[in-house]
Structure 1
């Protein structure tokens, strides 16, 4: 099986032509500075809430270890950039873009995330 650095192991995905928002959880269900994982249309998405209330969503697949563990990562910052460090080998990714900070050739897939007026967290697959 081959692996796609953006999404994880190769799989057949449905054709996506429009942004589809998916209700994931309530804002209070996300602990600040901790990740949570949601399975959306067969894709594992790691969702993070920072102390200042920002929301981020990245692929849960760690391309360096081959494990679905990014949601269990350690949040921090590097040079003002919000980051998550994989719990496996401590590789660090930009929470905003998914870019690995120490390897320009590797990036996690990032997803749009929003908060509804009812304090529900939604993630978009497009």
Structure 2
């Protein structure tokens, strides 16, 4: 998908506010409730797209802990390290670097004014 397609999709997406901008913590995760599940938001203000939204449930352990993971770079990818088994998930698409069978669901997310919004399916 090209960047222009991403821009069009973000403009036509339906959005739901999940928290305020001041609820976010730079270089860290916070967890919100969205459509019946926990979603981890990672705020990285130095990035072109500064907020990422991924499933908070670790696919290996089943525990809701991804929002407590450490954010960093690994193999040229922006990742979150799962707290329990230390597997690394790309924030861009949720894929696990160590095991291609594991992935986190990702959602479109944006900051609009003082609200953080997640795109509805």
Quickly name the TM-score band, shorter chain normalised.
0.7 to 0.9
Q: Could you say what the CA RMSD is over the residues aligned between the two structures, in angstroms?
A: 1.6
1:52 aligns with 2:46: yes
Structure with a larger share of its residues in strand: 1
1:103 aligns with 2:94: no
Structure 1: runs of 5 or more not aligned: 1-17
Structure with a larger share of its residues in helix: 2
Distance in 2, matches of 1:60 and 1:19, equals 22
Distance in 2, matches of 1:107 and 1:49, equals 20
How many residues align? The count is 108
1:88 aligns with 2:84: yes
Structure 2: runs of 5 or more not aligned: 1-11
Residue aligning to 1:5: none
SS of 2:61's partner is coil
TM-score of the aligned structures, taking structure 1 as reference length:
0.79
SS of 1:93's partner is strand
Residue aligning to 1:125: 120
SS of 1:22's partner is strand
SS of 1:68's partner is coil
Q: Is the 8 A contact 2:45 2:51 kept in 1?
A: no
TM-superposed deviation, 1:19: 4.9
TM-score of the aligned structures, taking structure 2 as reference length:
0.83
